[in-house]
């Protein structure tokens, strides 16, 4: 069966520090991968999606970037965090035979 992992689970970082969040999927190949952010008490905002290695599309221009160095690995990064980057970051994947997205456990980021 397929599983999706995210780490770290929680992170507290000072403003201006770098960020690297990792997402990996097991049990499937060539998934579509997604990064979402959920601000406190709000809905989900799609940040990036990827349909293959090295293929990244951004939905919202911002302080973040994403990379997909391997088929089942998706990384969210920032060179300098802002206070507004605080939130709950969720990684998701879809296969090619069904449409629902399956989500990882999320990373709760607090920028101080």
Partner 1 sequence: AQKVTQAQTEISVVEKEDVTLDCVYETRDTTYYLFWYKQPPSGELVFLIRRNSFDEQNEISGRYSWNFQKSTSSFNFTITASQVVDSAVYFCALSEEMLGGYQKVTFGTGTKLQVIP
Contact footprint for partner 1 (CB under 8 A): 32, 42-44, 46, 49, 51, 57, 88, 90, 92, 94, 96, 98-106, 108
Output the smallest distance, CB 104 to partner 1, in A: 7
List of residues 6+ apart from 97 with CB closer than 8 A: none
Distances (CA, A) of 83 to 3, 13, 40, 58, 77: 31, 10, 13, 20, 15
* For partner 1, the closer CB: 57 or 63: 57
Supply the minimum distance, in Å, between the C-beta of residue 3 and partner 1.
Answer: 12
Looking at the Cβ atoms of 73 and 102, the one nearer to partner 1 is: 102
Residue (56 or 64) nearer to partner 1, CB: 56
Instruction: For the CB of residue 98, give the shortest distance to partner 1 in the complex, in Å.
Output: 7
- Beta carbons within 10 angstroms of residue 7's beta carbon: 13
Torsion angle of the four alpha carbons 31, 34, 35, 37, in this order, in degrees rounded to the nearest 10: -140
């Amino acid at each position: 069966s397929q599983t999706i992992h995210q780490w770290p689970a929680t992170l507290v970082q000072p403003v201006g520090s770098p960020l690297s969040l990792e997402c990996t999927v097991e049990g499937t190949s060539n998934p579509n991968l997604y990064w979402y952010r959920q601000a406190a008490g709000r809905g989900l905002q799609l940040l990036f999606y990827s349909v293959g290695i090295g293929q990244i599309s951004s939905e919202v221009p911002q302080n973040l970037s994403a990379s997909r160095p391997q088929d089942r690995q998706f990384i969210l990064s920032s060179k300098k965090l802002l206070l507004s980057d605080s939130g709950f970051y969720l990684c998701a994947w879809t296969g090619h035979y069904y449409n629902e997205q399956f989500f990882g456990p999320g990373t709760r980021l607090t920028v101080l």
